Amino acid sequence: MHLTPIGDGALLLEPGVALDPSEPDHYLTTILELLAERGCQRLIYDLRECVVVDEIYYGWLTRLASACRICGVEMVVANVQPAAAYTLARRLSDDPPFRCFLDVDRARCG
């Protein structure tokens, strides 16, 4: 997992293939501490490397979005792969608790 401050109060999270979404507590503390240390107002979660978002991964994303919201940080998702978007669209009955953007640049401005 790579966490990179990218300016304008934003932190870019690039999860990588090693992230295990079934262990969310392992990551939440680290992410929230860095957001607080940097005074970030937005977390941009880059899904460029994630081909499929299943129920477990979506659960991780919603848990992270909820934790961010509690801390006053907006979480947005960028670079959702078409296969992942399709899988999500078929499984969701409600709107996700985060906004999605085509790429990181648009997520920074959005």
DSSP 49: T
pLDDT at position 54, please?
A: 82
Q: Would the pLDDT of 41 be above 90? A: yes
Question: What is the C-alpha to C-alpha distance for residues 103 and 56, in angstroms, rounded to an integer?
Answer: 23
Domains of the chain: 2-109 (3.30.750.24)
Question: How far, rounded to the nearest angstrom, does the alpha carbon of residue 12 sit from its chain's CA centroid?
Answer: 9
Look at 43 and 90; give whichever has higher pLDDT.
43
Mean pLDDT of 6-21: 88
Task: Give kind and range of the element (H or E) at residue 74.
Answer: strand 74-78
Kind of pairing between the strands at 2-7 and 10-14: antiparallel
Question: What is the C-alpha to C-alpha distance for residues 76 and 23, in angstroms, rounded to an integer?
Answer: 21
For 50-57, which contacts have Cβ atoms below 8 Å and span 24 or more sequence positions?
A: 50/15, 50/81, 50/84, 51/81, 51/83, 51/84, 52/83, 52/84, 52/87, 53/80, 53/84, 53/87, 53/88, 54/87, 55/91, 56/21, 56/22, 57/21
- Indicate the average pLDDT of the chain: 87
